[in-house]
Amino acid sequence: MSRGDRNRGGLKPRAKHHALHDVPGFRSALAAWFGREGKDYPWRRTTDPYEILVSEVMLQQTQIATVLGRGFYTRFLEVFPDTRTLAAAEDEPLLKAWEGLGYYRRARMLREAARAIENDHGGCFPDTLDDILALPGVGRYTAGAVMSFAFDRPAPIVDGNVARVLSRLMDLSEKIDGSGAQKTLWGWAGELLDESNPRVHNSALMELGQSYCRPGVPDCLGCPVSAFCRCSEPELLPIKGKRVKMTEVDESVVFVLREGKVLLRQQEEGRRVGMWRLPEREIEKDWPLVHERKYGITRYRVTLKVYEGAEGVEAGQGEAWHPVDELSERVMPPADRAALAACLGSDEEIA
DNA sequence: TATTCGTGGCG
DNA sequence: TCGCCAAGAAT
């Protein structure tokens, strides 16, 4: 018995309809379900385009649970309630509000977007697709999201959720990474879009992708649009390209505690620019290894090795001594913060 | 087109 | 433990 047979045996109903042949039927089934079961997120309680944009940028490649559960969204809007305050933000408070979210370039580009709105649009958030798309850090998806969620204007969106939903719904057999498949997906999103109700329609499509039509094995029995779904093996869709292999790397850094201060180095360029880290150094033979931890960043599997430096260690270029009781105010990557906490907690053991 | 950019949670 | 990957965009 193949996986397809088992699937047809009861898990996934066979499609009776075709979404593109009964577009109104598909739209109403989707919207009706969303009306019943749609979740209540903070960004669904506002139509302020700035607040919507903040949520969308935060949610790029980041799970709702992270943004919501750890309070990033609410905290960010408290510190930067509008484009004017964000446009004027200094690096440190900006990155502090983003610390732990990752992809820190997003924060800088969000500030650039706020500056563009202040400088090029007189502080008034643009309400056309082209103008929103022109904002830094805003691509096709985010522009469509702001258009539909904030202004309730018709613009299709295709994110990971929608791509999964549509690839299953239409039984898309090609890899979704390619430009051809992307064009197809955006085309479907545009055809299916309910132009009289874009906010609800797009919200529903995305939420379907995170609930019933989730990655891996979906819950087709509860799915409100299963009658329209053409695929027989949803667990095999969408088809994705190969992932880059992880590369093992070591980072040897030094921990020095002197007169209640620790030595840190500010990242001058590249990833995590502006953030304070334990200084990478040539390690002397007699420095003891005091802590070791692994973390992943992009395609690297990093082993962070912390050695306790001896008397002679001095602050070099870009380095400074930071009082231990002020460390919470510095902007640091979670790995460095955790390593530092472990070193300060117990100087000797290797955690 | 392929790669880069973070982090945490989950099976 | 380890691979997978989540409301993408820029280069």
Secondary-structure class of domain A3-236 per CATH: mainly alpha
What is the pLDDT at residue A44? 96
What is the pLDDT at residue A237? 92
What is the pLDDT at residue A347? 52
Answer for the pair A253, A282: CB distance below 8 angstroms, yes or no. Answer: no
pLDDT at A8 over 80: no
pLDDT band at A346 (very low <50, low <70, confident <90, very high): low
A152-182 burial: b if 16+ Cβ within 10 Å, else e:
ebbbbbbbbbbbbbbbbbbebeeebeeeebe
Spanning CA of A249 to C1' of C11, the rounded length in angstroms is 24
SS3 A308: strand
pLDDT in tens, A204-236: 999 999 999 999 999 999 999 999 999 999 999
- Asked if residue A43 keeps its beta carbon closer than 7 A to nucleic acid strand C, the reply is yes
Q: Sketch the domain layout of chain A as residue ranges.
A: 3-236, 247-345
**Adjacent-strand bridge partners of A78:** none
| Residue A258 CA: distances (Å) to CA of A75, A261, A331 | 34, 5, 21
Closest C-alpha to A116, from A98, A143, A134, A91: A134
CA distance A304 to A149: 42
- Asked if residue A42 keeps its beta carbon closer than 7 A to nucleic acid strand C, the reply is no
A56 is catalytic: yes
CA distance A306 to A283: 10
- Asked if residue A60 keeps its beta carbon closer than 7 A to nucleic acid strand C, the reply is yes
- Asked if residue A41 keeps its beta carbon closer than 7 A to nucleic acid strand C, the reply is yes
Average pLDDT over residues A251-255: 95
Superfamily of the domain at A247-345: Nucleoside Triphosphate Pyrophosphohydrolase (3.90.79.10)
Average pLDDT over residues A262-282: 95
> Phi/psi class of residue A298: alpha, beta or left (left: φ > 0; alpha: ψ in -120 to 50)?
left
> Which nucleotide is the nearest neighbour of A297, by CA and C1'?
B6
Beta strand segments in chain A, E = 247-255, 257-258, 261-266, 276-277, 289-297, 300-308, 319-323
DSSP A73: H
Tokens 């180095």 belong to A265
Residues by CB within 7 A of strand B: list them: A 61-63, 65-66, 100-105, 177-179, 241, 244, 270-272, 295-299, 333-335
